[in-house]
Amino acid sequence: MNQFINAKENLVIEAIDGMLKHSGGQLARLDGYPHIKVVLRNDWDRNNVALISGGGSGHEPSHAGFVGKGMLTAAICGEVFASPSVDAVLAGILAVTGSKGCLLIVKNYTGDRLNFGLAAERARALGLKVNMVIVDDDIALPDLPQARGVAGTLFVHKIAGALSESGAALETITDAATKVVKGTASIGMSLDSCTVPGNKKDNRIPYGKAELGLGIHGEPGIEQVDFSGAKNAMTIVAGRLAKIIDGGSHVALVNNLGSATPLEMSVIVDELLKSQIGEQIQLVIGPAPLMTSLDMHGFSISLLPVSEDEVKALVESVGCSAWPGCHEVQSVKIKPLPESLKTEKPVPSSDAKHREFIEKCCQLFISVESVLNTLDQKSGDGDTGSTLATAGRALMTSIDNLPQADITQLYQAISQELSTAMGGSSGVLLAIFFAAAGDASASGGEINNSLEAGLKRIKEVGGAQLGDRTMIDALEPALERLPLGLSEAAKAAREGADRTSKIGRAKAGRASYIAEEQLIGNNDPGAEAVALLFEHLASE
């Protein structure tokens, strides 16, 4: 897999330097590259308890991304998925620890425990006050004697950070951190493994499966489960968490494990709050990449029962941009549409012939969704099928409310429905098409003339002409031959759509941005949709 890196041996130090250069001067690093990779606050004056965390890289923004006022004082960075050395940890301790001491926040992995633990012993021998908490929040392996430390570590960073900023003593902060560790429960799920730089990817998760309880170093989860969508995934994750947590209010940390899109993560939050544990969640942190596993396509949920003081600590602002904030869960607020958008709804009426025609069109667009999306991936953004299928589903849902018996009102009602339900340029063009057809019909035009009027209007507004590699290439010849019957119109639409595969330069739409070699041999998806529709109607 190609990645935007140079030599893997320099990956971590180059990434750290890149981060420091855009930190606005808030962060610095210790000398000693490449063996000592310590990121620390540039404004630290040792008057408060220092907080140090760290571990292997590959979990960004953890750990260096949370160095700043109100969170960590320093982060000790190892190589990808490898614990930092004892000397690196000790260097970090010595660089930031004053008379009030420091707290090491360590995830429960053997390498981290040993290296941070030995560094702490050496620092104590030099007369420094050093405490350590071990985070073991992963509930995926309940029979494991020592659970792993995962994204729940961020709760410790934030609550301990707020206490340190307020001037609290080392023991007070240690006790609070220990309480957070004991109360935190985390579990993750992914659709794909991660890609370790320089290594071949382990494609162990087949399509239609998700891995539950996998670690943040790419290690396999406890089991592979059937995957059928976000709701199914959250039902499984919430079910595991429900067995662990007690009653009362919790804060949920919704963590992107690396490459889930923001759209997916927002759906995850919605499903979490609708799940069996949703009513217990008072606050949400994220969704955001917080404790990632390189490019893993997954998420994790961490829950913590919170007191009033802990809520106060979690919502306080901090000086590191990677922290997404902690926000109270609220119901969706809905405001009315502007009055000018509230159109008078037509009176519903029935017409068996028109209803059957609409249903056939909608069913066709729904059935060819994946076919058109695949075709559109070659010349656009891959959503032509989804856009038309969305229109089909919307019209099927509202069909009983349409004025089926009045063709003029029916054109206008379809235009209104499409402008509301469809997105993208195709939705607007089709809404314009039916609005213009309705205007022509109101003026006494026959069906053919009304449809021709719709075609003329979308050519004027959209700017596309015959031969520009758009749906016009199939729609215009089809409407010209429509007076001869649906079969003739279907043949004309098919010939027009197939001609677009020979057009190497589009003059309208997203395809106009695409290189010729990607277009030749592939029909324009809009023209193909028109051809499929007329062929479907003609076959009945």
- 29 contacts 13 by C-beta, under 8 angstroms: no
Retrieve residue 478's tokens.
């089809």
- 349 contacts 405 by C-beta, under 8 angstroms: yes
Q: Distance between CA atoms of 390 and 411, rounded to whole angstroms?
A: 18
- 483 contacts 501 by C-beta, under 8 angstroms: no
Q: Distance between CA atoms of 77 and 84, rounded to whole angstroms?
A: 6
Length, in residues, of the chain: 540
Distances from the Cα of 17 to the Cαs of 40, 129, 207, 242, 479, in angstroms? 13, 30, 38, 42, 62
Distances from the Cα of 320 to the Cαs of 56, 155, 316, 328, in angstroms? 20, 15, 12, 20
277 secondary structure, DSSP code: T
- 408 contacts 438 by C-beta, under 8 angstroms: yes
- 201 contacts 193 by C-beta, under 8 angstroms: yes
Q: Distance between CA atoms of 259 and 510, rounded to whole angstroms?
A: 26
Of 37, 90, 44, the residue nearest 64 (C-alpha): 37
Among all residues, which ones are annotated catalytic? 217
- 233 contacts 205 by C-beta, under 8 angstroms: no
Burial class (CB in 10 A: 0-12, 13-18, 19+), 445: middle
SS3 of 212, please? strand
